[in-house]
Amino acid sequence: MVRVKVKIIDTDQEWLVEVENGARIRDVLEKLDLNPEEYIVSRNGEVVAEDEEVGEDDLIILYPVVSGG
């Protein structure tokens, strides 16, 4: 199992998520019932595609896409 931390930027929303080895960021989001269409993902400070695999202790920061104009 791999454990990652997920945060939504500028909010208090924060989770610790456990996923299978080899899981991708989209699997992590799915566990949290978040749609990858609606977030830009940065992993350990770097913008990545949501099909990227996650590693132990990764810090994932989500930038919501759905804020207005």
Partner 1 sequence: MVNCSFCGRKAVYVSKALGRAYCKKHFLEYFDKKVRRTIRKYKMFSEKETIIVAVSGGKDSLALLHYLVKLSKRVPGWTIKALLVDEGIKGYRETTIKDFLRVAEELSVEYRIVRFRDELGYSLDEIIEIGRRKKLPYHPCSYCGVFRRYLLNKAAREMGGTVIATAHNLDDVIQTYLMNIVKNSWEKIVRLGPVSGTAGHPRFIRKVKPFYEILEKESALYAVLNNLYPRFVECPYAQQSIRWHLRKYINKLEEMYPGTKYSMLRSLLRIIQLLEDKTNKIIEGEIRSCHICGEPASHDLCRACTYRLELEIMDENGNIIKNMDTGALGNQLSI
Give the residues lining the site for partner 1 (CB under 8 A). Answer: 8-11, 35-38, 40, 42, 47-53, 63-69
Q: What totals of helices (H) and strands (E) does the chain contain, helices first?
A: 1, 5
Listed in sequence order, the residues at least 6 apart from 43 whose beta carbon sits closer than 8 Å to its beta carbon are 25, 52, 54, 58, 59, 60, 61
Pick between residue 16 and residue 67 the one whose CB is nearest to partner 1: 67
Q: Shortest approach of partner 1 to residue 54 CB, angstroms?
A: 12
Pick between residue 16 and residue 69 the one whose CB is nearest to partner 1: 69
Q: Shortest approach of partner 1 to residue 59 CB, angstroms?
A: 16
Query: Quick check: 68 and 14 in contact, CB under 8 A?
Result: no
